[in-house]
Chains A and B, each alone.
Chain A
Amino acid sequence: MDAIDATLPPPVNYLNAQHGIKSWLLTRDHKRIALLYLFGITFFFVLGGIFAALIRLELLTPAGDLMEAETYNKMFTLHGVIMIFFFLIPSIPATLGNFLVPIMIGAKDLAFPRINLLSWYIYMVGGLFTIAVIVLGGVDTGWTFYTPYSTAASNTHVVLTGLGVFITGFSSILTGLNFIVTIHRMRAPGMTWFRLPLFIWSHYATALIMVLGTPVIAITVLLVAAERVLHLGLFDPKLGGDPVLFQHLFWFYSHPAVYIMILPAMGVISELVAAFSRKAIFGYNFVAFASLAIALIGFLVWGHHMFVSSQSVYAGLVFSFLSFLVAIPSAVKVFNWTATMYKGSISFQAPIMYVFGFMGLFLVGGLTGLFLASVGLDVHVHDTYFVVAHFHYIMVGGAIMGFQGGLHYWWPKIFGRKYPEGWAKLAALVIFVGFNLTFFPQFLLGYLGMPRRYYAYPPEFQVLNIMSTAGASVLAIGYLIPAIYFAWSLKYGELAEANPWGAKGLEWTIPSPPPTYNFEETPVITEPPYNYTPEFVASVTAASRPEVELG
């Protein structure tokens, strides 16, 4: 396993083993399904991004001059629904996870290949419902569907949107189920739990949340539909229901959903930090168990979204205290990644630039999360742009940075072609600058009292809003550059060898792109993960990265 296989792409691999649209739409190959998902999430990312652009354009001036208030409500609702349910939640697990989980544990496919394909179709059907909502006139409840507005007042397409979320939830459950069974049952001989790459641990923790949490949101949106259509008294006080009950049920899933987004990104970061520092992860066991701890504690904190909802003071205090606990495993990870880099042989290529971006932005996002977990401070900044900035630092600064870093790192493996390194570094920088310019002013706006979800604001907030809108334009360019050079690289990129980064891990022992069944023979694992011995590091440094800077 130590040797670098420098063979060129094999004549037959998973991309060219079969041809034609049917071979893709009926495939059971986890790698092809990962690409189907990549197609799906890219589409929805662009769609969600267009709504984001329209929001930022409206907020360029204090007056509501680009669109009407009702239209603006639909814009931020569709932005949230699409980005959360159709991009962020499936982003890393369904693409990189689908592609890599079997390969990393030495398996030929996931445990249930047909269910894997089914999950993609379910996701797309859910997506069609959402597109139908857009065509038919939109929905204006916010992605949170808060009652009683969503059940008793809104005259937009709440039920159709809810059905889309309900349906796509099942694709998430099936992906999670597939990962859990695969990781338990299909590890190669010698691949013990503590030899698993940390990417696998974080996907295991993510899969647990998907399976245990998603049914609750599915039922909750169904209850909203039941009250809206059949007038059952569940959440509407007029019918004898309780609107706060909706918030409990909604956040029971939707807070852990944040960890569905961030845990896979953390798994990516663990792989990248080790590969580009050429060191084993510092405190492997702690990082692995931190993933499980985040998954577990993440289920016990949802009430911090409800401090001003009339939730009892006692419950508020308990949820506040438990929310602080999540910071511990999160900090363990960040500290351990930093310790891994200490005295590492770091090479500054595009993927690790995303790692640095992730660590800085996740730190800001996480620490401002502690502000919001404090009951007193939360009352002040609740429903302001401070909250908007906080969760974008976690979701865009954390999850999307991780996704981009992982996509660059595994791109040569997935397509057998390298992307242009210089452009990639530039894009990483543009994204980092654009992101901070977009969202840092929103912390200030929120702290000064600008509420979220309004289409007009007092003139004194305009300068910060202009900065934010300008940053969004920079950010859009930052995402456009990789879209162009990734597409370019598919045809013109330099051919990638099996292990272009000189990294450890089973995926780098097989050709790029991999053959349909991944391994010619089932591998036998005899070494710990991230086994960057001095001999290995010396051999790969000389062979694959002559330009490497030794730290």
Chain B
Amino acid sequence: MTEHAESPIGTYLAVFVTLLVMTALTTWVAFHDWGALNTPIALAIAVFKGSLVVWFFMHVRYSARLTQIVVVSGFFWLLILFSFTLSDYLSRGMLPFPGK
């Protein structure tokens, strides 16, 4: 259950630098208009950065399988929240209300 090994300081530095680069990328992207892709691009960068933090800084990479399952199920539940909510928004008007 305990962490198998402390990750070397080099890994932390590499992750930190990557996060800084991604932040710069976010800023650069925000000053350009990508049309419909504006939100997806911003979200993709954010998800990538968040994953790095969870995976390395929060030690999930070095944790037992059970801990990893707990983390994954948290995100899976978030997916349930998003996908079922979107099942409403994306299907508005797909089927008519009876009598209308």
Interface residues, chain A, with chain B CB atoms under 8 Å away:
184-185, 212-213, 216, 244-245, 248-249, 252, 299-300, 302-303, 306, 311-315, 317-319
Contacts of B4 in A (CB 8 A): none
CB distance from B24 to the nearest CB of A (A): 28
Tell me whether chain B's interface is mostly helix, strand or loop, or mixed.
Answer: helix
- B37 proximal to A (CB < 8 A): no
A216 to B80, CA, bound (A): 12
Most A CB atoms within 10 A — which of B66, B91, B93? B91
CB distance from B54 to the nearest CB of A (A): 16
Given A245-B85, A248-B88, answer yes or no on A212-B94 (Cβ-Cβ < 8 Å).
Answer: no
Does the CB pair B91–A312 fall under 8 Å? yes
Task: Give the residue name and chain of the A residue nearest to B77 (CB).
Answer: A212
Contacts of B66 in A (CB 8 A): 184
Does the CB pair B97–A313 fall under 8 Å? yes
- B87 proximal to A (CB < 8 A): yes
Given A184-B66, A299-B80, A311-B88, answer yes or no on A212-B97 (Cβ-Cβ < 8 Å).
Answer: no
- B13 proximal to A (CB < 8 A): no
A249 to B81, CA, bound (A): 8
CB distance from A308 to the nearest CB of B (A): 11
Contacts of A244 in B (CB 8 A): 88
Given A212-B73, A212-B77, A299-B77, answer yes or no on A314-B95 (Cβ-Cβ < 8 Å).
Answer: yes
Most A CB atoms within 10 A — which of B73, B77, B88, B91? B88
B49-100 residues with Cβ-Cβ distance < 8 A to A are 66, 73-74, 77, 80-81, 84-85, 87-89, 91-97
- CB<8 Å pairs between A and B, sample of 15: A212-B77, A244-B88, A248-B84, A249-B85, A252-B85, A299-B77, A300-B84, A312-B91, A312-B94, A312-B95, A313-B91, A313-B94, A314-B87, A315-B84, A319-B84
Does the CB pair B92–A303 fall under 8 Å? no
A185 to B80, CA, bound (A): 28
Does the CB pair B81–A312 fall under 8 Å? no
Does the CB pair A315–B77 fall under 8 Å? no
Does the CB pair B74–A212 fall under 8 Å? yes
Contacts of A212 in B (CB 8 A): 73-74, 77
Task: Give the residue name and chain of the B residue nearest to A244 (CB).
Answer: B88
Q: Of the candidates A184, A300, A312, A319, which one forms a contact with B92 in the assembled complex, judged by CB atoms under 8 Å apart?
A: A312
A185 to B93, CA, bound (A): 50
Contacts of A184 in B (CB 8 A): 66
Given A299-B80, A300-B80, answer yes or no on A315-B74 (Cβ-Cβ < 8 Å).
Answer: no
Contacts of B77 in A (CB 8 A): 212-213, 299
Given A184-B66, A212-B73, A212-B74, answer yes or no on A315-B81 (Cβ-Cβ < 8 Å).
Answer: no
Does the CB pair B73–A312 fall under 8 Å? no
A147 to B66, CA, bound (A): 39
Given A244-B88, A252-B81, answer yes or no on A312-B74 (Cβ-Cβ < 8 Å).
Answer: no
